[in-house]
Amino acid sequence: MAFDGKGSVPFVVAASLRRHGFARVTVGSEWIATFKSARAEADRLKSDFKVASRSDEILCLDNVKDTTRVASLRALQRAVDRLVRRCEPWLGVSLVPGERQCAPIVIGNRSDAMVATYHAYGPGYGANVNGPDGDGCGSDDGRLLTVLIHLNDALRGGRFVFHEKYGSIVDVPPAAGTLFLFRSDTVIHEVCPSLVRRRAMTAWYMGSGTVADSDTFARE
pLDDT single digits (tens) 166-187: 566 677 776 767 888 888 877 8
Q: Given this model, what pLDDT does residue 23 score?
A: 86
Angle at the Cα of 163 (from 154 to 197), degrees rounded to 5?
Answer: 25
Angle at the Cα of 110 (from 217 to 39), degrees rounded to 5?
Answer: 85
- How far lies 128's CA from each of 50, 133, 191, 200, in Å? 21, 12, 10, 17
How sure is the predictor about 90, in pLDDT bands with cuts at 50, 70 and 90? Answer: confident
Range among 72-81, 95-104, 164-173, 198-207 rated most confident? 72-81
- How far lies 158's CA from each of 22, 168, 189, 205, in Å? 18, 19, 13, 24
Give the pairing type, strands 114-118 and 107-110.
Answer: unpaired
pTM over 0.85: no
